[in-house]
Structure 1
Amino acid sequence: MSEATSAAGAPSANVFRPPTAMIPGATPSSASNVSQAFQFSSGNPRIEETRGFMHLYRNDFASSSPELPVGRKTMVCVLGVPNHMTYADFCQFCSSFIHHMLEMRIVRNDGVEDRYSVLIRFDDQSSTDAFYKHFNGRRYSSLEVEACRVLFTIDVQYTGLIEHAQTSPASSTEQPTCPVCLERLEQDMSGILTTICNHSFHCSCISKWADSSCPVCRYCQQQPEKSICFVCQTSENLWICVICGFVGCGRYKEGHSIRHWKETQHCYSLELDTQRVWDYAGDNYVHRLIQSKTDRKLVELNHYCAHADDGCGSCNCSIDTGFSETLLNSKVENIVNEYSELLTTQLENQKIYFESLLQEVEEETEREISEAIEKAATGNQKLQKMQAKLDKCDQEKSFFDEINKSLLKNQDILKASIVEIEEREKKTLKLKDDKIRELEEQLGNLMVCLEAGSTVEQLS
């Protein structure tokens, strides 16, 4: 992947070859049957962007045959790495083969913003084959469903370099040393990783970087999310509060930014489209400088030449450049002072506003504390009354307990007396029964005597 290293600086003319992919010893028809081309880009889109094609072996060609492709090189491409995997995560994922990697380059396929690809060049073919067999189809982690997709690389071709902004001469040459450890980037000694913004590092150095941004230019491979209104989720006519960062829609939508100003008194708001600051209290724009879209420099808003309607160039005001620069510097200094005074005034107003809010909170807290104390005092009185009632109930309970004990004793006495009465009644009944039997016997004897007497009389 020697062509990839030259893209970090100014690519040479022999690198920009026409996008044709040929396997050594293969015809064009056979090469098209086993290869597939992917457009890729690298670099910071705001500064410069390198574009090209990478020709890879097809998946069905590699999987249909149990043997590896014939004519393969010591280059592979890992396609579709998720953006949430940082450079350090990827280096840790393939850490067992880091010492065999001469160079790694991070690129992005056209039309795919949430993923990136990694071009890897190894020191020998055996290491390349071992890496392919070990990582192809393997999941990045046990918590993810996505698997690693490794394809052998046939060729990498660069088609051009697009410059979006003026760069300094120092940034157009490849850095010979690692920006982290300041050691030379020697491919034969250790692996080199080139980030998506075309900055090269040692793999061991970039592995210590925590996030997915570049340590040099801070360019992040994850695309920033589009701003939306915090309330209605719209993405049109947005304004951001320069005090607290609240993003709301303008008055031509739902007017949430104006509502935010009425609720918080944050009167300065920045329009995201034009980068202009609006003062709700004064109902006008309060800034003087904006950023030019052509060269990204700060220019004065509505600045025009006083001697010509079409701007400078037709009068003598553009001759004395030193005087104009001095005048511009003085204007900028006055504008900075004006901004400082405006911000100081706004911050003082916000201080008074928040102090009033804090005072209201303190008063509310004191009122709640006094109410809690009153409730506690009332609760103590109720507790005392309940305690008195409880003591009275305890006395009544003890009194009733004594009465219950006396009643139980009387019950035992009454039970004993009832038993005695029952026994006495039994004895009385027994005596009565005995008397009745004696009387019945005597009556029987008497009746016998009378019958005998009557019989004697009849006989005589």
Structure 2
Amino acid sequence: MRTAHGMQPGIILLREGTDSSQGKAQLISNINACAAVADAVRTTLGPRGMDKLLYDGKKVTISNDGATIMKLLDIAHPAAKVLAEISTSQDAEVGDGTTSVVLLAGEILARVKPFVEDGLHPRTIARGVRKAASLAVARLHEISVALPEERKRLEVLAATALNSKLIANHKSLFAPMVVDAILALDTWDLSLVGVKKVPGGSVSDSFFVDGVAFKKTFSYAGFEQQPKFFENPKALLLNVELELKSEKENAEVRITDPDDYQSIVDAEWRIIYEKLEKCIESGAEVVLSKLPIGDLATQYFADRGVFCAGRVTYDDMERVSRATGGRVQTSVLDLNPSILGSCANFEERQVGGERYNVFTGCPKAKTATIVLRGGSEQFIEESHRSIHDALMIAKRGLEHSKVVGGGGAVEMKLSRHLREYALKIAGKDQLVISAVAQALEIIPRQLALNAGFDATDVLNALRKKHADAQHTWFGVDCYVEGVVDTLQAEIWEPALNKANALFAASEAATLILQIDETKTASRDMLSFEAAPVPSAVSEVVAMLGVPFRFVLSDLIGLLEPFQRSITRVRVSRSIDATNTAIVLLTTRCVEAAKEVYATLHGRAFNSFEPDVCELAFVEAIEWETAAASDPPEEEGDDRRCVVCLEPLEDQLFTTACDHTFHTHCLAKWRDAPCPVCRYDQVGSQAELASCCDVCNVAVDESPLWVCLLCGHCGCEREHALAHYESTKHAYALDVQTRYVWDFAGEGFVHRLALQKTDEGILQDSAVPVGFVDEEEDGRRRRRRRRLDSDDDDDDDDDDDEDSAAVRRRQWMRASTAARDADHRKLEGMAVEFNELLRSQLARQREIYESRLNALRAENDEKIRAEIVAMKRDIRAGEAKRAKLNKELAKLREELDFTNEVNKSLEQDLHEWQRQSKEADEELKRVEAEGEAECRVLEEEIARLMARLDEV
């Protein structure tokens, strides 16, 4: 194909062996591959779905979980891998519906495949699929039912999720376990729910622990003497090694007398005993540690009636800490009762052929454990996956209270809604939306097929039920051939599950539809193996023969994976080849150098170039010239990067012009190869040029002028001027002074402009770069003729001069004609390039607009979800506020009552104080009267005694 200017469009050259396919055939091939993936999991849908046995040569897996099957299938087709990814995403986001999302995406593609074959543009189809998905999700939120009873809702959701699993017959046992485990968490982190698998026994022997249970760890001799049951124990959680070991690893001891060695041994024993005594003094009866607890500590704790276990895993220790309220300690020097955990009971229980440590009755239980039993390893693994899906569904049911009917009921409602909407619109979107409506019926159809029913009869019955009653939830009854109201039959699914599946399936389908070309890298690039490392290695690796056409950003991108391992990059020009360079890589250690060598040696620089990296280990470096060696460091070692102005300490990059920067700073510099001197790789070859292209004579002492545009060399300025007049290459470098002369502007330039936005260009002439007028050109030619006439002999006659002038004018006319032809050619190339650029920009604009619309729809959905969540939080806050107001009123009543009681008590206190004061006064009066009577009696006694004496 040729353009209007007769120019061929640009060609992208790929490495040999690259496979490329495009067009309608490629799109149909992608749709067929996705349909094949959907067929692989089609029969696993629903309670009557079949299981798949997957064998990878080492391990056997039996499962009907869509995400598990997608992970284990070795899918080679690149487009089909998209369905595996959306299945994994659905499993991580919701937990269930992994098979449904794959089936729905595959069915949408199969329904729109005839439109692709008929020539309908994929963009139109993708737009219709997105519109249908948005309508379906909006309708889903309208018809979903909010159920207030939390525990019942969660149990029904968990039981529905277990209906299609291997343990469906035991859902009455596991559904309450799942709900109890979810409600026990203060945060919705499922890693705090431990699932322990114990082979042997029946699945009905599985049990739930409202706390923590973990398998007994390795124990030393003396463990059997420790108690195995405690009531209200205190638990000490440690990250300390309680084992007798030599302290030579932690300290250096120098002795002069061999008798002092015994004191060192005694100190080691004293250290371990001090640690054990600290644990006993803390009052703990159960000691757990992430690190080993040795035989000495085990026997020590057994003698004192303390249970211990070492090498407890991180997850189990974290769950014990959450359940008991204890804090993990890294030292035993500062133990106190506040860091100890507590529980109602601790016991070591026999479960099958294993011993388990069980904490129950935990007051701060924020974790739970489910112990699974089963006859075979595959059965227990599938049971674990089933419990995980049920936990995820219960978690989503706790976050969102809205549910929909299962059994294909919601898909039938949404399909009917899309059909009715499609009848109201015109255009091509009507066909696509109708196709999506038909694709939604794949869920009830496949449920009926997997149950062994007549799918046509079941679908007809469902369509009749949904057409007769608008608000019914009839779906497939997989146990009795017929239909049932799934909402009344308690077959519920979270509305969030269905919304996420619809969005994921529609996005996957549109993604496949928008692929019009597939390129597969060549086999040698995909199967690259690490290069063998030679025996003689060092910390410095040399990259040989790096082409100068690679800019520094390409080199930095190649070395980016090793940026932490490489401390210095040094670019130096090769002596034997003017268009290559040597890159010296200084690594932190020999192991890092081996990794760089094994990864890069023999590997292509990129997929568009034939050159490969050739690496060699360097023992010593010798510089031929002083200028090529490392530049001398400034005094005080205060060198700084000119980009970030930080000291040059680590991860340095030295360019070929002997300027050093930080590697990350140079990676951000896109203006020129060197931020300091704008070092140009073509001009850098001037120093190596030593031969005049005009005289063909080696240049030793004469000034050398080099054209910066084509590399033409001349041994004097006149050669450079002649080259300018013939080619109009205005810039020439004086190698001796390293100044650049602008022949067009008649002056030296400070530096060349590499971009149009480059500012601050200093020039000695006011004539703009590249501007040549005829008057100036005539003056230059006359000046050249005068110089020629001065150099000629005195006996040259005027005829010779005239003939030379004629020849010069003829040569100038030919040069002008050639220059005009070149200008026309460049003009045509510029027009062709602009046309190509315009088409590519239009294509990019279309792609980014579609992505922007997708992101806008995604953000709108997230905003709607956030609004719903915020409204729910507001309602919860209002309910909490009402409860608090009620409690506040009650507290106010109690406060008023307390105030009245206090007032009455104060009155009683004043009364008692008054009575006490009166009693004190009465007592004083009585005491005074008694003293007076005593004095009277004493006087009477004295008189009586006197009379008796007289007698």
* Larger strand fraction of residues: 1
- Which TM bucket (shorter chain)? 0.3 to 0.5
The structure with more radius of gyration? 1
- Provide TM-score, normalisation by structure 2: 0.18
- Provide TM-score, normalisation by structure 1: 0.35
